Amino acid sequence: MLRSGRDSAFLRQDVVFDAVLADCVRTIFRDLAGLAALWEANSYWYAGAHISASLEAHGILFA
């Protein structure tokens, strides 16, 4: 079945929309992964700072 020019224009718009949507989804997941890594690094830093403060409170100092 042959498509009219109008049908193929809508088809091209759908392809472009799908590509833009896929790019947005990739960007969101990449940013979420970055935030998760930042959260994890911050958690380790907080835990390390808490342990250091606790040890210092018990008289164990680090040089």
| Domain spans, the chain | 1-63
pLDDT value, residue 5: 58
Whether the per-residue pLDDT at 45 is higher than 80: the answer is no
**Average confidence score pLDDT of the chain:** 75
25 in Cβ contact with 35 (< 8 Å): no
Contacts of 3 (CB under 8 A, 6+ apart): 11
pLDDT-based confidence at residue 24 (cuts at 50, 70, 90): confident
- Phi, psi (rounded to 5 degrees) for 60: -100, 110
